[in-house]
Structure 1
């Protein structure tokens, strides 16, 4: 039989932590604490605002893809570098989404414990009075006539609207008598923390609402000529020039409506600065789409048309010149094509038009493609010619004209490849498949003739508008969250969190004000032990507060931010609660007046020599008044009590 020795564990020796706790749980806990701190939330909020700056400075693809492409081409290496860093799609980039998600997690982890603590504070009693009230920034002590019960009732009635509680402790005197000390704790301003929580939770709701709107929303843009002929029916994504859908939108469940643009009106200042844009439209919704009933409306800048749960914005406008091409066999082709404004102050615009040849005019497809017509150039609403150069002097169409290059050849219409609507394919021109035949300046009604007899005429212009259809199902939540944020911020700034304590000590025979103050901390120290037996303990002797008609009342106040919480109103509140005269504000000392020469001559007289000891006694009397401990410097009443006045 083998004996086994068992060693008892050494007391006080802590076993080492397990590897999982040391290398996994503890780092994860520290990381979570750092992420959910208020400092991290503020840093992420600042970082989110900083990350949104490129979205305001650089062109974004979802707003203007053509401008973004041109920006990349103009800036070469840096343009391509910004593209790789997703600078042209900031709000959908990986790094912006990561900051957004981290801020969301940080706010949730930071606000949840604060909400729990606030709920506990609402259910808890106000905290007991500190041991030494004299150390608080707002403190006063007075002798008040009345019994402790009457004074406590008066204070409780004066603190109407405060959450308050009354505690009693008992103190044994040297002669064996027991004195009951009454303490009142009151607190108000719980709405301050509530408003703070509302502000932060509203911010959290705002972030969630914006994210939901991006996931379930969509935006589509379409250029329409404002002549009443072109329309838009929101039935498919194919009807838009550009369409951006949320990640959870497939484009098959769009709100159905149809719209036509009848006219457009632009107002400009004499300097050429735009003053107002407005467009007359007609629309159909629901069952009216299949009928002939149209509703009239007007769309202005920042005043969208709201129909079928969507918002229709007026984004931009411009001119659409009308060209007519007459081929050698007499057949014509006409187009009204939108030109893009290059200078908003003069509305100098650029664009391109493409015309296919009539069927049967040429023997085969190759010959047909070689004789297609393309036009690229400028449009000036108020043309001014400087030799062969054309410029525009005003944005309104007072003298419309075009300066165009006329090309003949393969325009690329049969390739099925997407092209820029405002410019020709440069590759076709460089490859020699599209040849320039003429460069002309044409005013309204003029035409140019090519070598084969084809003519190109400028017939006039129309106005076009760019309409954006936007759907955001969370827009009402965004508005509500913003209002709640503002309301919570105002409440947290205007409501003041305050605490007030009052300690009422009865004055018995032979007890002075200084003695009561000195014993007050001891009373507070004995409170915990006394409360264990309860105020109705059978082992306590009879108290000696019956018939007491004078008490020492110590009152102290504390605010979350002392200056913003109390200001100079604490002494007045104490005076109102205790029914005493409020102290007068300290006055500035008067500047000494000049002494006349006659009075200087009288200094040698013995009658004036008593002025110095009188002045010294006044100072001593004031010093004695400061040492009385009532917390106030004696004013005029104190001077009258001395029976003396200052001389000189």
Structure 2
């Protein structure tokens, strides 16, 4: 157990870098920034695995050693406990007066009657009765075996919890996706359907739970101060046979009230706005896009983003890269202009407006490198391959005409819902082991192991009257707090001291 406690402490210590340092599986960009800012120290931490703590060899080794140590500790204890359950209570000590709790008295009742009364009083205790010398008889009683049961349940639950968490890390997955609240659909058919995806160690994304979600509407209510009151996404979903029959089932998805389907949970994490722009190119063809812009101020939902367009009808890659269009800037749900600077006064779309820069040139989308949907590639701007050709503040229905005849029209705005899909096949086991851990701990802390012995010895007084001397002894196997009162009640029930005995040994007091 000492080894297990040391390893448990080391595991907690090893997990601290995972909370204090950025982790590559959560934010690779933050890791690269940290390494660049800290030079050789950042590179050393990277080589040692401090940016992938929970997947590192040393963390896994501590985890596995703790698992093995707990097994090595609990298996022998379980066998010993099973042996103790089959055994009998310890025989009555010869000198009960040496025990921490002791009472003695005389009674006119016979030995048999005293033993019968002791058995009735100690009903529920584990008892052993034996004959002793000179006609004396004794009872050994023990109680509190559930304390060790609770102790074992606690440690086995901890072992199961560690194992369930480890399996969960292997087979769980978690993905985030933004879905427009205009009837757009999302299907859990593969990793490509997500904006970001964090798989478990044994998940490759090819065998995900099949279901689809359609976001029909989004409702947001704000207090007069601008603080959010509640969010609700009115969705429909289908899974199992519904996918074959085309049946959609309605559901009101709210924060902290996930949709649970087929072992997965769909959470509403956030929301925002997606401006709609239509670009009319010089040849008359149009392209319309509604792309989400991310909030940069959660108090007013002032958002930033970039909506990108490829020119139609151009097959030459070099020419197409020269005429790509990006509409980038700020969106305000309730516009406030301070000069020409756009700000937002309220998070609800009461008076939407955008402050945009129209960029033309090579967006870098065909370079093979990943690119954020919320911003343009600044390297293209720095190299002069992407230039700003217009800047304007627009409200819905307004437009910008470029020098080559291209028209950028601001159509309006849609709501989007930010969803998270979580799959953890061990969550029920984790909950069960956690509950068992708490119950085992409470049991082991509240129940005490204690023993009591009763010896009845027949004697003859000077006048020839037969009497019985009853001696009780008590011992708490663990903490003695509270056992003195219980022992006193047992002694009061079993002893009927004579007046001179009552003066010598007051009732309820141990000698």
- TM exceeds 0.5? yes
Q: C-alpha offsets along residues 515-553 of structure 1, whole Å, 9 cap, x if unaligned?
A: xxxxxxxxxxxxxxxxxxxxxxxxxxxxxxxx9732222
CA distance in 1, matches of 2:335, 2:45: 38
TM-score computed with the length of structure 2 as normaliser = 0.90
Q: Which residue of the partner structure matches residue 159 of structure 2?
A: 204
Tell me by how many angstroms 1:120 deviates. Answer: 1.0
Q: Does 2:302 correspond to 1:339?
A: no
CA distance in 2, matches of 1:162, 1:634: 21
Structure that is richer in strand per residue? 2
Q: C-alpha offsets along residues 473-511 of structure 1, whole Å, 9 cap, x if unaligned?
A: 112211221222222223223323221012223334569
1:384/1:634 CA distance change after superposition, 3 Å: closer
- Within the candidate set 183, 203, 207, 2:138 is matched to 183
Work out which structure has the larger RCO, using CA pairs closer than 8 Å and 6 or more positions apart in sequence: 2
Q: Which residue of the partner structure matches residue 377 of structure 2?
A: 425
Q: Does 2:398 correspond to 1:443?
A: no
Where do residues 531-550 of structure 1 align in structure 2 (5 Å cutoff)? Answer: 549-550=466-467
CA distance in 2, matches of 1:108, 1:74: 43
Q: Which residue of the partner structure matches residue 132 of structure 2?
A: 169
Tell me by how many angstroms 1:85 deviates. Answer: 5.3
Q: Which residue of the partner structure matches residue 595 of structure 1?
A: none
Q: Which residue of the partner structure matches residue 172 of structure 2?
A: 217
2:135 aligns to what SS in structure 1? strand
Q: C-alpha offsets along residues 240-290 of structure 1, whole Å, 9 cap, x if unaligned?
A: 222222222232222222221111122233333323222111122223324
Q: Which residue of the partner structure matches residue 33 of structure 1?
A: none
Q: C-alpha offsets along residues 401-438 of structure 1, whole Å, 9 cap, x if unaligned?
A: 22222211111222232111211112222222111223
Q: Does 2:255 correspond to 1:301?
A: yes
Tell me by how many angstroms 1:161 deviates. Answer: 0.6
1:396 aligns to what SS in structure 2? coil
Where do residues 618-629 of structure 1 align in structure 2 (5 Å cutoff)? Answer: none
Tell me by how many angstroms 1:65 deviates. Answer: 5.5
- Within the candidate set 80, 92, 101, 2:64 is matched to 101
1:463/1:509 CA distance change after superposition, 3 Å: same
CA contact (8 A) 1:559 1:565 kept: no
RMSD between aligned residues: 3.0
Q: Which residue of the partner structure matches residue 408 of structure 2?
A: 456
Q: Which residue of the partner structure matches residue 91 of structure 2?
A: 128
- Within the candidate set 487, 490, 499, 1:570 is matched to 487
1:291/1:153 CA distance change after superposition, 3 Å: closer
2:132 aligns to what SS in structure 1? strand
CA contact (8 A) 2:23 2:31 kept: no
Decide which moves more: 90-99 or 372-381.
Answer: 90-99
Where do residues 26-41 of structure 1 align in structure 2 (5 Å cutoff)? Answer: 37=1, 39-41=2-4
1:416 aligns to what SS in structure 2? coil
Q: Which residue of the partner structure matches residue 555 of structure 1?
A: 472
Q: Which residue of the partner structure matches residue 354 of structure 1?
A: 308
- Within the candidate set 255, 261, 282, 2:236 is matched to 282
Report how many residues are paired: 508
Q: C-alpha offsets along residues 314-352 of structure 1, whole Å, 9 cap, x if unaligned?
A: 122111111222222222211111111222222222211
Where do residues 362-511 of structure 1 align in structure 2 (5 Å cutoff)? Answer: 364-508=316-460
CA distance in 1, matches of 2:362, 2:170: 42
Tell me by how many angstroms 1:462 deviates. Answer: 1.0
Between structure 1 and structure 2, the one with the greater Rg is: 1
CA contact (8 A) 2:4 2:66 kept: yes
Tell me by how many angstroms 1:197 deviates. Answer: 1.0
